[in-house]
Amino acid sequence: MPIITPRIGIVGAGAIANSHVEGLRAAGCEVVAVADPFEAARNRFVGVHKVVAYTSLAEMRAAEKLDAISVCTPNSLHAPVAVEALENGLHVLCEKPPSTSLAAAVQMRDAGRKSGKLLMMGFNQRFDANAQELARLRDKGLFGQIYHAKAGWVRRRGIPGMGGWFTTKAMAGGGPVYDIGIHVLDRTWFVMGRPKPISVSAITYAKFGNIEKYVCEGMWAGPRKMGGTCDTEDFAAAFVRFDNGATMQLEVSWAANRPDENCKTMVMGDKAGATWDGEQVELYGEFDNAITTSQIQYDRSIYDDRFKHFAKCLRGEATCSCTGDDGVAIQSILDAIYESSRQGREVQITIPA
Ligand SMILES: NC(=O)c1ccc[n+]([C@@H]2O[C@H](COP(=O)([O-])OP(=O)(O)OC[C@H]3O[C@@H](n4cnc5c(N)ncnc54)[C@H](O)[C@@H]3O)[C@@H](O)[C@H]2O)c1
């Protein structure tokens, strides 16, 4: 049954939730409520967005007639919150990452299947016009066979909210792999055509986790919390194999003694290749006797952001292109990165059907 003007509640009234309210309202949804156990977060959010606040999803569900929720909590709560919503008849848009373990991501995917409700992963970077345009060019055959890709996001100094939930493995799942690596991993995988991951060889390091001694210019996601927890990695390198023979290298850091590398995707095909670094997309190919490099201009307005896509799916105008299965595939790579690093060897990936 199409929902023309979806009524939405936000779960988690923190930083990213602001863009969810703005994006969902711009997409024609009514954002009417928020749930967050912390009074200060609720009060700030209500003041800005004029919604009704509740202390929990259960309380919000009981009091409001909602069609959907948007999950904006710390990572470890994504799956339980999404499952609770799906089991109670609500559609779900879930922030990245899907979860903090493959088992929980599978549980969330299965709850979506069983409920018949929409479970959409909020992988925003694959909705960037550059990713969508590169995928369209791939479908036209521009790249030929994409056989290798590189995804990187390296910060020289950029640990978020040190000592808080971002650097606490039990809540975040991991460090930069979960925070920023997943963005470039997902968008690069999306441009590759979403091949099935089969194995990962990876290493993670934790070298900058001393909260008192960490040197930086400033810290986003809140000031450092002395005496807090910082038990996540701060650097990871991975090599992923896919069932179509393609491979991907991933490099990600919150802190490293090397230059910054901004959010980079590179794909290599046997007919052409591409890089997307920050804003700029470049294509690499050949024509007759010439080796060509070109920068592309195109109509960006034909592509929907994640909020417009979610609203269109609820209205029955689109089929979800960022599914629970995609979340499980990405989560399987995240889990394998840590498992490979722990075992010191390549590990196989098995994705539950
Ligand atoms: N897509 C992106 O570019 C992007 C950017 C930043 C963050 N994120 C993701 O968004 C999520 C939130 O990140 P953030 O930066 O907004 O964090 P944040 O700490 O600012 O906000 C999290 C909020 O969740 C609330 N919360 C905690 N437990 C809760 C519960 N049981 N029920 C409801 N609310 C609860 C906290 O009180 C807080 O207000 C994370 O999963 C993060 O990975 C995505």
Please determine, for residue 278, whether its predicted confidence score (pLDDT) is greater than 90.
Answer: no
Task: State the distance from the centre of ligand 1 to the C-alpha of 204, rounded, in angstroms.
Answer: 24
Residue 236 CB–ligand 1 contact under 6 Å: no
Please determine, for residue 327, whether its predicted confidence score (pLDDT) is greater than 90.
Answer: yes
With respect to CATH, is domain 127-303 assigned 3.30.1300.10? no
Please determine, for residue 55, whether its predicted confidence score (pLDDT) is greater than 90.
Answer: yes
Q: What's the chain's Rg over C-alpha atoms?
A: 20
Q: Which helix (H) or strand (E) holds 71?
A: strand 68-71
Please determine, for residue 315, whether its predicted confidence score (pLDDT) is greater than 90.
Answer: yes
| Mean pLDDT of all residues in 305-334 | 98
| Mean pLDDT of all residues in 108-133 | 98
Structural domain 7-122+306-323, CATH architecture: 3-Layer(aba) Sandwich (3.40)
Band the pLDDT of 220: cuts 50, 70, 90.
Answer: confident
Please determine, for residue 64, whether its predicted confidence score (pLDDT) is greater than 90.
Answer: yes
Band the pLDDT of 45: cuts 50, 70, 90.
Answer: very high
Average pLDDT of every residue of the chain: 97
The per-residue pLDDT for 185 is: 98
Please determine, for residue 295, whether its predicted confidence score (pLDDT) is greater than 90.
Answer: yes
| Top mutation candidate among 11, 70, 95, 187 for ligand 1, by most atoms within 8 Å of CB | 95
Beta strands in 137-288 (DSSP E): 146-154, 197-205, 235-242, 247-253, 261-269, 273-277, 280-287
Residue 14 CB–ligand 1 contact under 6 Å: yes
Band the pLDDT of 279: cuts 50, 70, 90.
Answer: confident
The per-residue pLDDT for 38 is: 98
Residue 77 CB–ligand 1 contact under 6 Å: yes
CA gap 34, 46 in Å, rounded: 8
Q: Residue ranges per domain, the chain?
A: 7-122+306-323, 127-303
Residue 3 CB–ligand 1 contact under 6 Å: no
| Mean pLDDT of all residues in 20-39 | 98
The residue whose CA has the least distance to atom 32 of ligand 1 is 36
Query: Which single residue is written with the structure tokens 């550059």?
Result: 130
Residue 74 CB–ligand 1 contact under 6 Å: yes
The per-residue pLDDT for 262 is: 86
Count CB-CB contacts under 10 A for residue 179.
Answer: 25
The per-residue pLDDT for 154 is: 97
The alpha carbon dihedral of 69, 73, 79, 80 has a sign of: negative
Please determine, for residue 1, whether its predicted confidence score (pLDDT) is greater than 90.
Answer: no
Task: State the distance from the centre of ligand 1 to the C-alpha of 245, rounded, in angstroms.
Answer: 36
**pLDDT 10s digits, 260-272:** 998 999 999 999 9
Band the pLDDT of 163: cuts 50, 70, 90.
Answer: very high
Cα 347 to Cα 187, 223, 253, 335, 339: the distances in Å are 23, 37, 22, 10, 7
Task: State the distance from the centre of ligand 1 to the C-alpha of 273, rounded, in angstroms.
Answer: 36
Band the pLDDT of 27: cuts 50, 70, 90.
Answer: very high
The per-residue pLDDT for 320 is: 98
CB distance 9 to 34 below 8 Å: yes
Provide the token pair at 100.
């903090």
| Mean pLDDT of all residues in 165-180 | 97
Residue 171 CB–ligand 1 contact under 6 Å: no
